[in-house]
Every structure is written in C-alpha cells, then in structure tokens.
C-alpha cells in the first residue's frame, strides 16, 4: 500500500456546542488542544448536525445520508446493516478501520464496516427508547430528559461517563501504537467520547479549572408564553415549565459542562500526543467534531432536540497534511464527512469505490486544502420525541429556515441575529425568501408520507421490544472480544518476542 494515503483519526464529542469552546471564541472555556489543532488547520464555523439527537446524527454521519433517507428517526431506530458507511468504503480503499467508544448503533449489526470495535457502547442497542408519535404529549419517564441533571450538577470523583471515556482513550491509544508497530495499511480510527453530555458532573481537577463566579449565565432567556410552539413542547417535555432551576443550579450545570468540555479536550490532546509518539502525526488527518450541541439554558432550553444554533451546530476542526490554515464560513454538516474521507483516502478518482447508495453530502476536502469557500448548505431533519411531525432545517448563506407542519415557520438571518431572536418568516421584506424556502420544503419532503413511515416504524419496534421482555433475554449490546490467554505474557509465548512486539519504538536491531 502506497504511503500517499494518510491515516485518518476522527475524535468525536457528545453534545458539544462549539460556542462553548475557546477554539470558537468563548472567553471562559479552556480547550487548548482543540485550539492548537485549529491553529495549524482549518476551522469550519458553520458546521451542523443533520439531526440534533445522538443516534440519528451518528447514523447520518456514518452513512453520508439524511435521516429520512435511511429511516434513522430516533434513538431506537435500527441502523440497517445494508447501509454502506465510510468504514465500508475505506476498507475497500485499503484502510484498517477501528471504533473506540460510542456510536449508539441500534440493532444486531454492531460493526457497520469497522474491522473492529475495541470498547463496548455506553447506551442500549435495542428498541427501548422508541418514542410514540400517537401519544406525543406523554412523557416516557424512564428515559426522557428532565431537569434533574441540571439541579444535581456538580462534582464527583467518578461517574459511569468518566469510567467510559477513560476506557475509550486507553484502548484508542493502545491501538494507535499497534498500528504504528505493524507499519502496514493506512488506518482510520474513530475515538468517540460521551463527554460533555449530561449529567453535568465533573471531577474536581476539571471543575477547579474554573472560577465559579466567572461562569457566564445564558445570554438569551425567553419567557414561556413568548416561545415558539416547538420550544414550548420541548420545555414541557423536559419538565422545564414545572421544575425551574435556580440561578445557582444553572451556573453549576454550566460550570460542570465547561469542566467536562476541558476534560474532553484533554482526550484530544492525549490522542494527538500518541500520534506524535508513534511517529504518525505528520501522515494523519485529525478531525474533531461532535454529534450535536447543547442549549445549556440558552433561550430557556436544555440539551438538544431543536435546530437553534447551540443545539444544531457542531465543532469541526481538521488538521494534517495538505490542510490549509484558516477558517471557513460555508454551511456544511456531518453528512459531508463521508465524501471528505473518501477524498482524503483517494490518490486519484480511479481509486474510489462505487457508491452503494446516493450520498447527501459533499466533500469538504477542496475547501480544507484551498481555503476557498464553496457556499454550500446544511440540511437537518428531526423525527424523534417531543414532536408529532417532522421538523426540517435548511441553512443556506446567512439564512436558516425551520419548518414543522404543526408550528409556524421560522426564518433567521444568522449573520445579523446570531441569537435567533427575530423571526423573519412573516416579515414583509422577507416574504419572497420565506416563500422560496417553503416551496423547497414542499417540493423535497413529502411530510404525510414521512410521518406515516415514522409511526409505522415506531409500532414495529414497540411490538418487538415488548415481546423481547419475555422469555430468554437476548442482547445486542456489543461485547468486545478478549482472550486473556493471548494477552501480555503467557506460558506458550516467548516473552522476549512479546516484549519486542509491544515495545515502541522498537529496540534498534544490529
């Protein structure tokens, strides 16, 4: 395999809004390792998720396809094994592929093209988290977000999230040394962490990075009766209308989120340092992103599940060989990662495999390597809890349009109104533009058909899940293969050979 193909390491956060990083200009939050990557690479300033919820966003990201194309509607939607992912295409192009950490695969296929997964996942892989659009106003108390995570924010020595991310980083770093020792194929590794996703609980050393009194409060608060229809449903759904956090609780939650953002950033630093230590950094494209953001109290909203900027935007930083230094303002999204990776891996167009399904994204590699804007767009779709109709977002140029059949449309000029306080959808000066967006939605999305499919898929999964609660339990949760008799030093091994194999850099041969 030619050395022209660079390695790819993608580091993914969970629920990280770029606005809450120093890399994107926040005056309080400390993300020095992301800052360093951005200083030597390209920072995309209008990158969006394609669905502001964990599993749908990740399925779009891996497949390069929008939610409605692959029926990846919610956190219990099955990700079909027949859908090609970037891991499949990169394998075709000669790469070894590895996932360390979260991807929230739902269904019996827990690899989706990766050669191997070296950790388990952190969330269930069955149909338990299926919403019900026929009872859209009813809370599913077992797993719906509520305000407890805001009220209980603070400091702890350990949490299940900390345990998980420590494991993700350890196994990712060990695998990078293994790849470097083998010196064979190029590799693509995804290291996917759960932080800074709620619950907002941080270890003391990260909490203590910040002066509690310096934690900024939300810049935009909107009374309930002035909220748009969808935001009111979100507030009702997370119980934010009945459980109102105090200012101290809000500040605690933001403090812990900032601390956990710095913790995630430290993992970025560890992985980049490991690439340096194993002499792979100069031939590796490093990408840092997230599956969606977090409102963190902005507009009176928390978590995600909407298309306002703090929920829908994601960080996207790319650094490595051929990547220019700079920033880009063209709207883009996570479905663009798959074609970007294929461009990175391809020495020329002839090396690309035939696509198994149409791709909704475009490659960001030309922008990353030239610094020239392509003036593209970002599309978002939301078909999960706290709505009973699809929600569609179009971000193009400086405008964002949001449509849902049950709500009034929203149109914002993001350049002039970054807090999205002025809805221009009914403004006479923007009537033509609003109508153009409305016509585009009507032309490209068959809302009744999409809604009918969402409801039908929910009923299928609900029936399967309820049946699986009886009889012998069968789990899809991924169990990473481990064979203790082949680890470290065992009686059937020559320990000197084992020591030489795992030592990096190797002892100089005579």
- Nearest-10 crossing angle of helices 495-502, 160-182: 100
Please report whether residue 110 resides in a domain: yes
Dihedral angle over CA of 36, 42, 44, 50, nearest 10 = -100
| pTM for this entry | 0.95
Contacts of 420 (CB under 8 A, 6+ apart): 299, 308, 309, 400, 410, 412, 414
Residue 49: active-site member: no
CA 19-33-62 angle, to 5 degrees, is: 70
H/E segment holding residue 8 = strand 7-14
Read off the pLDDT of residues 88-123 as tens digits, 9 standing for 90 and up. Answer: 999 999 999 999 999 999 999 999 999 999 999 999
Quote the CA–CA distance of 291 and 301 in Å, as a whole number: 18
Please report whether residue 483 resides in a domain: no
Question: What is the pLDDT at residue 509?
Answer: 65
User: One of 33, 49, 54, 88 is an active-site residue; which one?
Assistant: 54
Question: Per mean pLDDT, which range of 367-371, 379-383, 502-506 is the poorest?
Answer: 502-506
Mean pLDDT calculated for residue range 407-428: 96
Question: What is the pLDDT at residue 3?
Answer: 52
Read off the pLDDT of residues 229-240 as tens digits, 9 standing for 90 and up. Answer: 999 999 999 998
Read off the pLDDT of residues 133-150 as tens digits, 9 standing for 90 and up. Answer: 998 777 776 667 889 999
| Strand order, beta sheet including 399-404 | 377-382, 391-396, 399-404, 410-413
Read off the pLDDT of residues 270-294 as tens digits, 9 standing for 90 and up. Answer: 999 999 999 999 999 999 999 999 9
Q: Identify the burial level of 99 via C-beta atoms within 10 angstroms of its C-beta, where 0-12 means exposed, 13-18 middle and 19 or more buried.
A: buried
At residue 379, φ and ψ (nearest 5 deg) are -115, 135
Nearest of 115, 129, 116 to residue 54 by alpha carbon = 129
Question: What is the pLDDT at residue 349?
Answer: 60
Q: Between 76 and 487, whose confidence is greater? A: 76
CB 83 within 8 A of CB 65: yes
Please report whether residue 12 resides in a domain: yes
Residue 278: active-site member: no
Question: Per mean pLDDT, which range of 220-224, 314-318, 340-344, 406-410 is the poorest?
Answer: 220-224
Task: Return the SS3 of 398.
Answer: coil
Mean pLDDT calculated for residue range 371-386: 96
Q: Within a 10 A sphere around the Cβ of 236, how many other Cβ atoms?
A: 15
Total structural domains within the chain: 1
pLDDT at 510 over 60: no
CB 147 within 8 A of CB 245: yes
Please report whether residue 447 resides in a domain: no
Mean pLDDT calculated for residue range 490-499: 84
Please report whether residue 105 resides in a domain: yes
Question: What is the pLDDT at residue 494?
Answer: 82
Domain that holds residue 44: 7-378
Distance of CA 177 to the CA centre of its chain: 25
CB 11 within 8 A of CB 33: no
Question: Which tokens belong to 156?
Answer: 């702890």
Question: What is the pLDDT at residue 312?
Answer: 98
Task: Return the SS3 of 9.
Answer: strand
Percent of the chain with pLDDT over 70: 98
Confidence of residue 2 (pLDDT cuts 50, 70, 90): very low
Please report whether residue 397 resides in a domain: no
Question: What is the pLDDT at residue 439?
Answer: 98
Quote the CA–CA distance of 334 and 316 in Å, as a whole number: 9
Q: Which residue has the tokens 């891991």?
A: 87
Read off the pLDDT of residues 24-81 as tens digits, 9 standing for 90 and up. Answer: 999 999 999 999 999 999 999 999 999 999 999 999 999 999 999 999 999 999 999 9
H/E segment holding residue 274 = helix 247-277
Nearest of 139, 78, 140, 137 to residue 104 by alpha carbon = 78
CB 333 within 8 A of CB 50: yes
| Strand order, beta sheet including 316-319 | 116-117, 96-101, 187-196, 7-14, 284-290, 316-319, 42-44, 326-328
Please report whether residue 409 resides in a domain: no
pLDDT at 1 over 70: no
pLDDT at 407 over 80: yes
Read off the pLDDT of residues 347-362 as tens digits, 9 standing for 90 and up. Answer: 666 678 889 999 999 9
User: One of 104, 112, 145, 389 is an active-site residue; which one?
Assistant: 104
Nearest of 105, 207, 115, 86 to residue 153 by alpha carbon = 207
Instruction: Tell me what the pLDDT averaged over the chain comes to.
Output: 94
Quote the CA–CA distance of 230 and 15 in Å, as a whole number: 20
Please report whether residue 491 resides in a domain: no
Q: CATH no. for residue 355?
A: 3.40.720.10
H/E segment holding residue 231 = helix 229-237
Question: What is the pLDDT at residue 143?
Answer: 66
H/E segment holding residue 101 = strand 96-101
Read off the pLDDT of residues 426-484 as tens digits, 9 standing for 90 and up. Answer: 999 999 999 999 999 999 999 999 999 999 999 999 999 999 999 998 899 999 998 99
- Round to the nearest angstrom and report the end-to-end CA distance of the chain: 27
DSSP conformation class of 484: G
pLDDT at 213 over 90: yes
Q: Between 347 and 208, whose confidence is greater? A: 208
Question: What is the pLDDT at residue 487?
Answer: 87
Nearest of 40, 194, 215 to residue 102 by alpha carbon = 194
Nearest of 90, 99, 63, 89 to residue 78 by alpha carbon = 63
């Amino acid at each position: 395999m030619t050395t022209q193909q660079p390695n790819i390491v993608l580091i993914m956060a969970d629920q990280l809004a770029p606005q809450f990083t120093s890399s994107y200009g926040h005056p309080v939050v400390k993300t020095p390792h992301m800052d360093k990557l951005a200083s030597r690479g390209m920072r995309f300033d209008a990158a969006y998720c394609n669905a502001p919820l964990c599993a749908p966003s990740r399925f779009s990201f891996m497949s390069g396809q929008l939610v409605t194309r692959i029926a990846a509607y919610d956190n219990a939607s099955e990700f079909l094994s027949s859908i090609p992912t970037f891991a499949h295409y990169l394998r075709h192009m000669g790469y070894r592929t590895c996932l360390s950490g979260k991807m929230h695969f739902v269904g019996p296929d827990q690899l989706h093209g990766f050669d191997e997964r070296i950790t388990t996942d952190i969330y269930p892989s069955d149909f338990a988290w299926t919403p019900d659009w026929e009872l859209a106003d009813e809370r599913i108390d077992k797993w719906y977000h509520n305000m407890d995570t805001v009220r209980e924010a603070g400091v702890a020595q350990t949490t299940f999230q900390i345990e998980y991310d420590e494991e993700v980083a350890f196994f990712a770093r060990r695998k990078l040394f293994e790849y470097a020792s083998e010196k064979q194929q190029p590799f693509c590794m995804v290291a996917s962490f759960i932080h800074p996703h709620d619950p907002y609980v941080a270890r003391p050393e990260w909490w203590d990075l910040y002066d509690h009194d310096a934690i900024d409060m939300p810049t935009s608060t909107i009374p309930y009766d002035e909220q748009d229809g969808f935001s009111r449903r979100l507030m009702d759904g997370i119980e934010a209308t009945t459980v109102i956090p105090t200012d101290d609780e809000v500040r605690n939650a933001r403090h812990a989120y900032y601390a956990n953002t710095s913790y995630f950033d430290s993992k970025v630093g560890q992985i980049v340092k490991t690439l340096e230590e194993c002499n792979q950094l100069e031939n590796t494209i490093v990408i840092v992103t997230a599956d969606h953001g977090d409102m963190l109290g902005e507009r009176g909203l928390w978590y995600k599940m909407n298309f306002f900027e703090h929920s829908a935007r994601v960080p996207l930083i790319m650094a490595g060989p051929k990547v220019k230094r700079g920033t880009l303002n063209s709207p883009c999204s996570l479905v663009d990662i798959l074609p970007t990776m294929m461009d990175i891996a391809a020495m020329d167009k002839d090396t690309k495999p035939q696509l198994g399904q149409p791709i909704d994204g475009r490659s960001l590699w030309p922008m990353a390597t030239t610094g020239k804007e392509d003036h593209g767009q970002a599309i978002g779709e939301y078909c999960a809890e706290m709505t009973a109709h699809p929600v569609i977002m179009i971000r193009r140029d400086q405008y964002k349009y949001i449509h849902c059949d049950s709500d009034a449309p929203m149109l914002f000029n993001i350049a002039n109104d970054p807090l999205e306080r002025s809805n221009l959808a009914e403004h006479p000066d923007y009537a033509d533009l609003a109508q153009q967006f409305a016509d585009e939605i009507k032309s490209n999305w068959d809302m009744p058909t999409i809604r009918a499919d969402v409801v039908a898929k929910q009923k299928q999964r609900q029936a399967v899940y309820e049946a699986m609660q009886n009889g012998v339990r069968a789990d899809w949760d991924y169990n990473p293969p481990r064979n203790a008799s082949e680890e470290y030093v065992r009686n059937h091994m020559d320990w000197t050979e084992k020591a030489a194999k795992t030592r990096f850099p190797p002892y100089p041969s005579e």
